[in-house]
Amino acid sequence: KEKDPVIYSGPDLVEFSPVSRSVTTTTAPKRDSILVQLVGPQRSTATKINWEIDPASTAATTDYEVLTPTVEIPANASSTWIKFRFFKVSSTKTLRLNLTGADNATVSTNYKTFVYTLR
pLDDT per position as a tens digit, 31-62: 999 999 999 999 999 999 999 999 999 999 99
Name beta bridge partners: 47. Answer: 73
| Residue 9 DSSP class | -
Give me the residues paired with residue 73 across strands: 47
**Residue 5 pLDDT greater than 90, yes or no:** no
In terms of Cα–Cα distance, which of 56, 35, 48 is closest to 101? 48
pLDDT at 118: 97
Q: What is the pTM of this model?
A: 0.89
Average pLDDT, the chain: 94
Can you tell me the mean pLDDT for 66-86?
Answer: 97
pLDDT at 3: 67
